[in-house]
Amino acid sequence: MQQLTKETISYINLFESLTKASVKDCFLNDVILFVIKEGNIAKAVGKKGRNVFMISNLLKKRIKLVEFNNDAEIFIKNMIYPIEGKIYKENNLVCIELNKSSDKAIILGRDKKNLNELQNIVSKYFDVKIKVI
């Protein structure tokens, strides 16, 4: 599980000062992922995506914004957006049922890299395992 570092804290401070939106967390991978507090996503994105574009250019990195939700199913749906799939929970297992094999490939990634990253982020907030069907 990832801890906040000086780098992630500086990204969060920069993002919050420029957008006035509250950030819950920040993850650094190929993309800088900001987990935005519930109800702040519109403020974070800005008109016509202006804030995303501006911060991406400023940091010279791709960024992704995800709205947090206290429901694991909705949070996972936000994480995998724009991919559509049926998401349901059985005990401590959240299943993502996808119709297209291309969507499944995107979610899994090479050597399940994307799925492992998704699992790590979701595990920080919820005690669930993710399964892709």
Coil vs helix vs strand at 34:
strand
Q: Tell me if the pTM is above 0.85.
A: yes
What does the domain layout of the chain look like in residue ranges? 6-67, 72-132
The CATH code of the domain at 6-67 is 3.30.300.20
* Mean of pLDDT values over 38-44: 94
Closest CA to 133 of 93, 91, 82: 93
**Mean per-residue pLDDT of the chain:** 92
Residue pair 97/88 in contact by the 8 Å Cβ criterion: yes
pLDDT of 87-119, one tens digit each?
A: 999 989 999 999 888 999 999 999 999 999 999
pLDDT at 94: 93
Residue 3, pLDDT > 80, answer no
pLDDT at 129: 95
Domain 72-132 in this protein, CATH class: alpha beta
